[in-house]
Amino acid sequence: MIGLWTLVMAAVAAPLSADKAVSAALERSVVLAEADAALGRASGALRAARGLPQDPTVSGSVAVVGDAWQLSVQQPVSLTGAGLAERAAAQHTVSAATAQRARVELEVAASVRRAWVDAVAARQRAKLAAEALALARQVADAARQREAVGEASQLDLRLARLQVEQARATWMSATLEDGRRTADLAARVGHDPAALELPEDPLAGAPEASGAVRPRSDLVAAAAASDAARATLQQQRASTLPSVRIGAFVEQEGTEFRAGPSASFTLPVWRANADGRAAAQAAVSVATRQQADAERRAAAEQQTMRQLTETMEDAIVDQGVDIPAEASAALDSVGLGYARGELDMLSTALLQAEILDGYVAWIEVRRVTAEARLDLLLATEDPSLLGAR
């Protein structure tokens, strides 16, 4: 029983991986729900367009005085292909909504991974700042003891106290940033901020490219939207001639009974759907430019991010991943060196600052490299963004 409880607690306290963060965020994403809703509306419009665009009209009358009644049924039918064009536009709209939904899913995944990377980096800076504050207090305590026995000057003690205040300010700023980043990530994944455990390396949140090649979904969506706009223009042009109403009638007046076919149509004398055709033509122009703009942006993003990511990856080839342990050990050595009298206060302060700057630089290098990877993964729509699902 104890072993089982230990395993459960270990699972609860396990650091939140970027893959798990993505999975949890996708389940809660508002923008993804909106994309699903847009796809649902487009699918409903397609189902409606597959039938006749207008319902039949039934009319009847009964004479109050005399013996007469009549009944007629008419079904509007387009003879110009407007219905076919409407169905084509609806189908393209569904394709665009499907592709847009896929794009939104990848954008949400990339956004969550960026939030995870920023939270990990902020958490590590806060931990380092806390360690530096503890060390500064230890050094100040050692300075007091050495000053009391005449082994250190009053200046050393004052410098040590100033170091404590500087370390305190750094810790407070880092802790505030850690809280903000943690709250943002916790809200995205539905996690308790106070219990959110994270790994040490920001780069772990950005997987390397899988090499999978597929059309970008936003380009697919732009092309489908352009096709839908052209189909709508065809529909509006076909609607210049209104639908013909075809049906039948029956009527009786006294002993006379009559029945036969009926047809009616509207003469486009005053209205030739000029406004609808103009609006559809304008929509085609806009959609065409939007498609071209999306293609230019995608090409620029992919080329630039490939170059930048290669540059970043080359720069960290020789970077040691044990920098956190080395920095922690170096800080301990500096504090011990001052306590033993092997270092003066000025040397202690300078070494401390160099160690902290080096560790912060390591964190920033890993964070920036992760950002570059994520930009490339989104630019190429690499499926590794979604993680193991």
Q: What domains are there in the chain, each with its CATH number? A: 16-55+82-240+291-386 (1.20.1600.10)
Please give the helix or strand (H or E) that residue 311 lies within, else none.
helix 274-315
Could you read off the pLDDT of 324-355 as tens digits, one per residue?
A: 788 878 878 887 887 787 887 777 778 888 88
Closest CA to 344 of 135, 156, 155: 156
The reported pLDDT for the residue numbered 321 is 62
Catalogue the E-assigned strands of the chain.
57-62, 68-77, 244-253, 256-264
Question: Which residues of the chain have a pLDDT value below 70?
Answer: 1-13, 320-321, 389
Residue position matching structure tokens 């223009």: 233
Q: Please name the residues in contact with 202: beta carbons below 8 A apart, sequence gap of 6 or more.
A: 117, 118, 120, 121, 124, 363, 366, 367, 370
Determine the Cα–Cα distance for residues 124 and 327; give it in Å rounded to an integer: 12
Burial class of residue 67, CB neighbours in 10 A (0-12, 13-18, 19+):
exposed
Closest CA to 124 of 197, 206, 16, 25: 197
The reported pLDDT for the residue numbered 218 is 95
The reported pLDDT for the residue numbered 11 is 43
Residue position matching structure tokens 């965020």: 25
The reported pLDDT for the residue numbered 7 is 38
Sheet containing 256-264, strands listed edge to edge, beginning at the edge strand earlier in sequence: 57-62, 68-77, 244-253, 256-264
Q: Which amino acid is at 309?
A: T
Give buried/exposed letters for 299-313 (b at 16+ CB in 10 A, else e): eebeeebbebbeebe
Contact 204, 18 (CB under 8 A): yes
SS3 233: helix
Question: Nearest 5°: phi and psi at 174?
Answer: -65, -40
Distance set, CA 226 to CA 60, 214, 294, 379 (Å): 45, 20, 12, 22
Q: Which amino acid is at 126?
A: A
Closest CA to 102 of 354, 293, 385, 305: 385
Determine the Cα–Cα distance for residues 351 and 347; give it in Å rounded to an integer: 6
The reported pLDDT for the residue numbered 146 is 80
Burial class of residue 221, CB neighbours in 10 A (0-12, 13-18, 19+):
buried
